[in-house]
Amino acid sequence: MTPTTETMVGIGGAAESTDMVLNIGPQHPSTHGVLRLRLVLDGERIQHAEPVIGYMHRGAEKLFEARDYRQIIMLANRHDWLSAFSNELGVVLGVERMLGMEVPPRAVWTRTLLAELNRVLNHLMFLGSYPLELGGITPIFYAFSEREEIQHVMEEVSGGRMHYMFNRVGGLKEDLPAGWATRARAAVSGVRSRMGRFDDLVLGNEIFRGRTRGVGVLSPEAVHGYGVSGPIARASGVDFDLRRDEPYLAYGELQDTLKVVTRQEGDCLARFECLLEQTYNALDLADACLDRLAELPPGPINQRLPKVLKAPEGHTYAWTENPLGINGYYLVSKGEKTPYRLKLRSASYNNIQALTELLPGTLVSDMVAILGSLFFVVGDIDK
């Protein structure tokens, strides 16, 4: 019989669990911009998480106060650089409400159309980048290919690829180019015909489902507590969408086409599914707007404004259902050509705070999956 040797290993204080502080960022490749996460770990499990923001802060709200109502549109469209057209809308809607101004029907329907095309552009970016963060590189190539189709028509109508600067107080900068509606309809149809790639490549991938199902579950109570909105809130069963519940632009006449996508699970997979299904609906809404524009008689696309535009004294709040969630502007005017105060309520700022609720108790390996599923833009946090 072969002799055996026994070794006694002493267990001392070093074997006890010890908290470790880990900084993710402020320049981490898994984030959409410059964000820092301060994590307290017990082994591989996160005990406490604190998002540290402010690395991209530009002081946009103070800059609003030094520029007139035409110039602030340029500042407003930059905080969420994937939703520039939608960002502009809140400002012009607020100023128009203060002025009691009625916008021509042609401008209303064109704004709605461009807002939905902008929603598709925003969602496609996350539909491609989220799988990339989990190790799947192919979907982002398809996402950028489809984005180019929509960006071509957006660039043709506005002159800009990301920062469109096409909204004006009273309407839009100018009318649509000749034949643009036909090209836009072809782009929408082409993108829709290829969206099935994301169902097959991403949702049909068992590794993706394994990394996201049941991970990062956000409860409806946390959604309300942190003011979370948009696809992330609806993925947790919070059925709220300003386009349906407080219609603006032409959404009141699009209720038959508008579909508010919800899920009950509240996990990373549900958030991705909401985003994907909402993209399909945005394409349907764009088609409906194109149909209505074709029926409208020729008419103005904007209102004639005075050389110096002054909003009357008072205050108002204009909010819109941006691609990432609720975007609001609280405008206070003293009757001057510049806002006395313009407070911005951005979607990503509230949404990212939910990380303090989502990350504790999860493994470090799930951190990127949860972080990416919040679909945020850091400029929208820091503004």
285 in a domain, yes or no?
yes
- Residue 18: pLDDT band with limits 50, 70, 90: low
Residues 6+ apart with CB under 8 A from 340: 65, 332, 333, 334
pLDDT digits (tens, 9 = 90+) for 218-275: 999 999 999 999 999 999 999 999 999 999 999 999 999 999 999 999 999 999 999 9
Preceding peptide of 26 cis, ω within 30°? yes
12 in a domain, yes or no?
no
State the DSSP string of 57-77: ---HHHHHTTS-TTTHHHHHT
For the entire predicted model, the pTM comes to 0.91
361 in a domain, yes or no?
yes
Percent share of the chain, pLDDT over 90:
82
> Which of 381, 347, 374 lies closest to 218 in space, CA to CA?
374
Question: Of the segments 21-30, 236-245, 303-312, which one has the largest average pLDDT value?
Answer: 236-245
Per-residue b or e along 113-128, where b marks 16 or more CB atoms closer than 10 Å to that residue's CB: bbbbbbbbbbbbbbbb
CA atoms within 13 A on the CB side of 180: 18
- Residue 34: pLDDT band with limits 50, 70, 90: confident
Residue 33's pLDDT is 66
Please tell me whether residues 28 and 76 are part of one structural domain.
Answer: no
Residue 378's pLDDT is 87
Q: Is the model more confident about 21 or about 17?
A: 21
180 token code pair: 């643009």
Please tell me whether residues 260 and 318 are part of one structural domain.
Answer: yes
Please tell me whether residues 80 and 201 are part of one structural domain.
Answer: yes
The overall average pLDDT reported for the chain is 91
4 in a domain, yes or no?
no
Q: Phi and psi of 81, rounded to 5°?
A: -70, -5
Contact 110, 92 (CB under 8 A): no
- Residue span of the structural domain in which 285 resides: 60-381
CA-CA distance, 72 to 68, in Å (whole number)? 6
Please tell me whether residues 302 and 186 are part of one structural domain.
Answer: yes
Residue 175's pLDDT is 94
Cα–Cα distances (Å) from 193 to 128, 141, 187, in that order, read 17, 16, 10
163 token code pair: 């920062």
Please tell me whether residues 216 and 175 are part of one structural domain.
Answer: yes
> Which of 21, 51, 16 lies closest to 33 in space, CA to CA?
51
Residue 57's pLDDT is 81
Please tell me whether residues 284 and 191 are part of one structural domain.
Answer: yes
- Cα angle value 74/251/96 (rounded, 5°): 40
Average pLDDT score over residue span 144-152: 96
CA torsion, ordered 100, 103, 105, 109, to nearest 10 deg: -110
- Residue 29: pLDDT band with limits 50, 70, 90: low
Please tell me whether residues 41 and 85 are part of one structural domain.
Answer: no
Residue 129's pLDDT is 93
Q: How many CB atoms lie within 10 A of CB 203?
A: 15
- Residue 1: pLDDT band with limits 50, 70, 90: low
CA-CA distance, 254 to 241, in Å (whole number)? 13
Tell me: pLDDT of 7 over 80.
Answer: no
Please tell me whether residues 158 and 254 are part of one structural domain.
Answer: yes
Tell me: pLDDT of 10 over 50.
Answer: no
pLDDT digits (tens, 9 = 90+) for 42-97: 989 999 999 998 888 888 899 999 999 999 999 998 899 899 999 999 999 999 99
Report how many domains make up the chain. Answer: 2
pLDDT digits (tens, 9 = 90+) for 324-372: 999 999 999 999 999 999 999 999 999 999 999 999 999 998 999 999 9
Residues 6+ apart with CB under 8 A from 237: 220, 262, 263, 264, 266
Please tell me whether residues 84 and 158 are part of one structural domain.
Answer: yes
2 in a domain, yes or no?
no
Please tell me whether residues 176 and 105 are part of one structural domain.
Answer: yes
Tell me: pLDDT of 39 over 80.
Answer: yes
Average pLDDT score over residue span 130-158: 95
77 token code pair: 């469209």
Please tell me whether residues 274 and 349 are part of one structural domain.
Answer: yes
Residue type at 169 in one-letter notation: V
Residue 13's pLDDT is 45
Tell me: pLDDT of 11 over 70.
Answer: no
136 in a domain, yes or no?
yes
238 in a domain, yes or no?
yes
